[in-house]
A = this chain, B = another copy of it.
Amino acid sequence: MSARDLQERIKKLIIDRRLPSGAPLPTEPELMAHLGASRNSVREALKGLQAMGIVEIRHGFGTYVGTMSLAPMIEGLAFRTVAGHYRGEDTLLQLLQLREAVETGLVSRLAGRVADADLVELDALVDRMEEQAAQGGDGIAETDRAFHATLYRGLDNALLGEVMEAFWDAFHRVHTDLGGTPQDPLVTCRQHREIVDAVRSGDAIRAEGAISEHFGNIRARVSTTGTQHPHRCHNERV
């Protein structure tokens, strides 16, 4: 029995039994019996499914249905970007342009349609960002991530939100691992404030412009990154 077929049969098992995220999978001996394969083959199949986020393996505890998060997609995107970067391709810039193209389109649909509760949360996030900027910019990245996540929550599509977060994560990880120059915190704060105000005003054109300016700022930093060499592996942990 080939490992590829085993993966398909395990996926089919999850579908057929309607197993939700976190539900326990049969143990390795049980899977061996059910699939008629050796333990090594079963384990290799599970390793592949684990890499795709379909199953989660806990040492000494058991195997469970994974959270189906987009973490593997981030992993793949990040590696693809780093590998291409070192081969002289502008992959990091492409990744940024992907985010910009998608976010400018989304924010115009979002203008004037964000719930009041989300708007005050966005205000609070920019406030916090300003505090962090005043104190050396520590933790400002996480606030930026929360800002974008909160912004696109208004589109009422969990999948869309996750995809946007995945793009953000992939870009951020590659950018930092490649030793990209951080942005000016004060400029970043001002641009995020403008995004909130633009969305609140309901002016789609203005909102698009705000996003565009924000990304233009980031792009300037990316272009100067050049072909630096990192001192560490491009990532170390999920």
A residues contacting B by CB (< 8 A) are: 3, 8-9, 11-12, 14-15, 18, 20, 40, 43-45, 47-54, 68, 70, 72-73, 75-77, 79-80, 82-84, 86-87, 91, 94-95, 97-98, 101-102, 104-106, 108-109, 155, 157-160, 163, 233-236
| Cβ contacts A to B, 29 pairs, < 8 Å | A8-B235, A8-B236, A9-B233, A11-B79, A11-B233, A11-B234, A12-B233, A12-B234, A15-B82, A20-B87, A44-B47, A45-B47, A47-B51, A49-B51, A52-B52, A52-B79, A53-B76, A54-B76, A54-B79, A68-B76, A68-B80, A72-B76, A73-B77, A91-B159, A98-B157, A98-B159, A98-B163, A101-B160, A102-B102
Interface of A is mostly: helix
How many monomers of this protein are in the complex? 2
Q: A18-B87, A86-B15, A104-B105 are in contact. Are A50 and B48 (CB under 8 A)?
A: yes
**Shortest beta-carbon distance, A82 to chain B, in Å?**
6
Contact B68 A83 (CB under 8 A): yes
Q: Which of B18, B94, B95, B106 contacts A101 (CB 8 A)?
A: B106
